[in-house]
Amino acid sequence: MPSIFVDVNPTIIDWVSQYASNATNSGVLDDLAKWKNGEKRPTFKQVETVSKAIHIPFGYFFLQSPPVETFPVLQYRTIDGLNEGNPSRDLIDTINDMESVQEWMHDYMIASGYDRLQFVASCHNENDKQAIAKRFREILGIAPDWYKQTNAKTEAFKFFRSKFEDIGIIVMMSGIVGNNTHRSLHIEEFRAFALIDDYAPLIFINFNDSQGAKLFSLIHEAVHILLGTSNFYNDRYGIADNVSVFETLCNAVAAEILVPSDYFEKEWSALATRKLEIKIQQLAETFNCGMVVIARKALDNHYISRNQYRRIVDDAMEKFRDSQKKGTGGNYYSTMATRIDARFIIALDNSVKEGKTLFTDAYRLTNTTRKTFSNLTEGVRGIS
């Protein structure tokens, strides 16, 4: 069968090219350049190949002008100066996936007769960190010294994630786009984001972050839900000081929940004779959080200088980079189960079995196949 040649508008080629610099196929940029200058006319197959290589929807190549893509959550960047350019296709696809999950859960909750979640935006007029932290604990039904119930950061993360799922917050987590291990999500672009909804508020955590950072991000995003604002969390280990008053409040509340001031001050005093690094490490172990959270708490209490804080942050970043060099493995279904909110997957499975949701939609929402979806739901039900 003869090849079918097509024309791609030069303005579309220019728009597409901005996403091609990181393509795994090094010839993509060359192909695009040849298409633009008329040296070569692409075939449908060649357009499809480029589309897959740079994750641009195939249909976009045949538009007369670049599409206008809007992502409201990006308006809520934590640090305005970071990543203000075009979001990566990996981030775009992740946001789209999570919006689809939230939309499905929103409709499911209404159809199932659930009421609006009263805690969403319940603190929108509050600006006192202690009052918000108190309300946060009341909603979850936890005490200020919750950390005594856990033994490590991983347990602390599971503790809060389970509490959030119980009250109706969807918590999703992944380090890749869908199931494509070649499309990693980079913490340099974002750490987490929250999408506000009265029926299905959603938090997405970048799995590639450190364990301590993931825990802080989880709490930070939940605070945003109580305050009633979506959020795109792109702060990097205290890199910026020019955060807004509102964002400073969210950080302070998250730190107060993880490390209550009264307990922190007592523990800090008890270790008065220890070297700073040892003290920070021991307190991080006591409160089951990251060393950066402890260091920030110490800085805000004027226990350490900004230079000392910066050194601790730099050391933590270096240790995290070293840990990333070590390969990790794991069971496929266990990994999948950590990515997907348990309450969401059970609701989706029930809806499929009741004939209210198509199997194909379930597979699309979970990035699974018939076999993997069945095994995933069985595994989640087994541990729920």
195: helix, strand or coil: strand
pLDDT at residue 147, as a whole number? 94
82, pLDDT greater than 50: no
pLDDT at residue 79, as a whole number? 67
Q: Which amino acid is at 23?
A: A
Sign of CA dihedral 195, 58, 36, 182: positive
- Report, as an integer, the average pLDDT of 270-294: 93
Tens digit of each residue's pLDDT (9 = 90 or more) over 358-370? 999 999 999 999 8
332, pLDDT greater than 70: no
pLDDT at residue 248, as a whole number? 87
206, pLDDT greater than 90: yes
Tens digit of each residue's pLDDT (9 = 90 or more) over 61-76? 999 999 888 888 888 8
pLDDT at residue 25, as a whole number? 56
What does the block give as tokens for 262?
Answer: 């009264």
Tens digit of each residue's pLDDT (9 = 90 or more) over 84-137? 567 889 999 999 999 999 999 999 999 999 999 999 999 999 999 999 999 999
**Average pLDDT of the chain to the nearest whole number:** 89
More confident residue, 83 or 138: 138
Range with lowest mean pLDDT among 220-224, 295-299, 317-321: 317-321
H-run or E-run covering 360: helix 359-366
- Report, as an integer, the average pLDDT of 179-196: 92
* CB neighbour class for 125 (10 Å; exposed up to 12, middle 13-18, buried from 19): exposed
What does the block give as tokens for 23?
Answer: 């393509």
More confident residue, 18 or 323: 18
80, pLDDT greater than 70: no
| Per-residue burial over 56-95, b = 16 or more CB atoms within 10 Å of its CB, e = otherwise | beeeebeeeeeeeeeeebbebbbbeebbeeebbbbbbbbb
- Report, as an integer, the average pLDDT of 369-377: 89
323, pLDDT greater than 80: no
pLDDT at residue 331, as a whole number? 64
pLDDT at residue 64, as a whole number? 92
Q: Residues 83, 190: contact at Cβ < 8 Å? A: yes
- Report, as an integer, the average pLDDT of 280-301: 93
pLDDT at residue 124, as a whole number? 93
pLDDT at residue 236, as a whole number? 59
Percent of residues, the chain, with pLDDT higher than 90: 60
pLDDT at residue 254, as a whole number? 95
Give me the residue spans of the domains in the chain.
Answer: 10-62, 74-258, 332-383
Residue 327: DSSP 8-state = -
pLDDT at residue 383, as a whole number? 63
**CA–CA distance, 197 with 191 (Å, rounded to integer):** 20
Percent of residues, the chain, with pLDDT higher than 70: 91
**CA–CA distance, 136 with 163 (Å, rounded to integer):** 11
pLDDT at residue 104, as a whole number? 98
For residue 375, count other CB atoms closer than 10 A to its CB: 16
What does the block give as tokens for 16?
Answer: 């597409």
**CA–CA distance, 178 with 172 (Å, rounded to integer):** 12
168, pLDDT greater than 70: yes
What does the block give as tokens for 232?
Answer: 């795109």
* pLDDT confidence tier of residue 233, bands split at 50, 70 and 90: confident
183: helix, strand or coil: strand
**Which stretches does DSSP call E strand in the chain?**
170-174, 176-177, 180-184, 192-195, 202-206, 231-233
